[in-house]
A = this chain, B = another copy of it.
Amino acid sequence: MQDRAFPGKGGGGENLLFLTDDQLRKGIEAMFFAYRGFTADPDRILENYAYGRAHHRAIHFINRSPGTTVNNLLDILGVTKQSLNRVLRTLINDGLVESRVGTRDKRERHLYLTEKGRALEHELSDAQRARMRAAFRAAGPEAVQGFRKVLEEIMDPRMREFLNSMTDGG
């Protein structure tokens, strides 16, 4: 596991400088630092409401797919149903989320944001989008394309599919 740079020589003849262990390490650390920045603004807002990141995630994906079921949400969030349930319970009790029993299948609960829920969602996503927009603008469209491309390679293929499947509420 030493240096993996073969600048302009050997086998394929390609310059693989971007695959050296040092480059990989920088990519890894960049992910760590960037994720912290990415969550910083919403985290700050959430403190005012005694909610956490878990609440933010639930709100985000309910807003994205109104009427989604608990099971759908579990799949996307990748947590246990008990964990999600605790979060949903508080959001429902606080009147940010509405849970409607399914008509076809009465075991299912369909989830919707209330007006109050939408308000918080907006506050959170505004802050997160502002940072993202600034970063995208500073980096430029080509960088953004590369950013997306690499992230899609890193994530689980199931999530990649999900990400690209929905244009709106599905």
Main secondary structure of the interface of A (DSSP, over half): helix
Choose, from A18-26, A86-94, A100-108, the stretch at the interface.
A18-26
Q: Contact at A139–B146, with CB atoms within 8 Å? A: yes
Partner of A27, one of B21, B144, B153: B144
Interface size class of A (residues with CB under 8 A): 35 or more
A17, B141: Cα distance in complex, Å: 9
A12, B22: Cα distance in complex, Å: 39
Would you call A142 an interface residue if the criterion is a C-beta within 8 Å of the partner chain's C-beta atoms?
Answer: yes
For the complex formed, measure the closest distance between the CB of A85 and the CB atoms of chain B, giving whole angstroms: 20
Q: Contact at A163–B30, with CB atoms within 8 Å? A: yes
Q: Contact at A19–B136, with CB atoms within 8 Å? A: yes
Residues in A36-57 with C-beta less than 8 Å from chain B: 36-38, 40, 57
Would you call A9 an interface residue if the criterion is a C-beta within 8 Å of the partner chain's C-beta atoms?
Answer: no
For the complex formed, measure the closest distance between the CB of A77 and the CB atoms of chain B, giving whole angstroms: 9
